[in-house]
Structure 1
């Protein structure tokens, strides 16, 4: 089956550190949206959910006088660059094959254009799915990063996603 599950990714200490920084609830909701969009668009749901879960692990903490400074974040943001690198390193460390790890990292890199100079961003289907999934959960002022979800509930969501992906992969193998 899969070398690395979402639960493997989610429970790793590196993922825990950065998912808590960028918002566990947001990461899981984006992974859930990514699964549905992947299935609708013929995209590998394993890659889409991993990219959705990890898409914001490159976030820096932009605070001014102890409060989140959204404008400073918007002006200085390069989280997709740092997140792609962190995700790639984490996935390889966990045993993900190199090519899928690269595809996931590129989807994270291109899930937003907030760090790019003005221009058109060309995305493949996986990258589009991750971007759309993220946009589906955004709230004004970055509030989506601060919704709470405890670890047990989060892990239950992750395990349900893993089961849905496994069921899909079993179904696909039966038809081949």
Structure 2
């Protein structure tokens, strides 16, 4: 049983404020990518979709002259750090299990290495899924942050993904139950 749904996350004012300004269409696309990738990597699809939905919740508005400035972003951004904190706080407020909230926040923190010094980062499977989901939807010069989606379509897309996750988890629970009999 899931403690918090994607629709509950979407409906929260914090999500509306911060995910919308970084690109709700991108966040939803990433959540779908993460759901698909979760099967391939043996990761809980609920955690993967939530982390992917929230992966850019920490974005600062790097605008110059009213337009997104990709070079300012690349040079100065630490959105993953702020995003991990924001995602964790939001999930706890919504009633997510603290262990799940921590795993999701860590995946948000490590979805990009743009703020880290050069070196190789070894990601856990959930973190890798969120990183790959983000990469799968990226566009040159941050164009993925500009795509629009209306609230009704966004909400119905997330409700559909909630159903897919529930179906998948129910099948897995049934398999586990049958194998232990």
SS of residue paired to 1:108:
helix
Residue number in structure 2 paired with 1:170: 170
Give the aligned partner of residue 179 of structure 2: none
Deviations 1:78-130 (A, max 9, x none): 00000000000000000001100000000000000000011111100000000
Q: 1:6 Cα shift?
A: 0.6
In structure 2, the partner of 1:126 is 126
The equivalent residue for 1:102 is 102
Which digits, 9 at most, give the CA deviation of each residue in 1:5-26, with x for residues without a partner?
1111111010110111100000
Unaligned runs of 5+ in 2: 177-181
Q: Structure 1, unaligned stretches of length 5 or more?
A: none
Q: In structure 2, the residue corresponding to 1:23 is in which secondary structure?
A: helix
Aligned-partner Cα distance in 2 for 1:10–1:66 = 26
Paired residue for 1:39? 39
Number of equivalent positions: 176
2:50 corresponds in structure 1 to: 50
1:152 correspondence with 2:152: yes
Question: Following TM superposition, by how much is the alpha carbon of 1:63 offset from its aligned partner in structure 2, in angstroms?
Answer: 1.1
TM-score (norm 2): 0.96
Deviations 1:46-87 (A, max 9, x none): 000000000000000011122211100100010000000000
RMSD: 0.6
2:66 and 2:160 map into 1 onto residues whose CA distance is 36
Matched, 1:67 2:61: no
Offset, 1:159 = 0.4
| Correspondence for 1:143 | 143
The corresponding residue for 1:9 is 9
**Aligned counterpart, 2:24:** 24
Instruction: Give how far 1:39 is off.
Output: 1.3
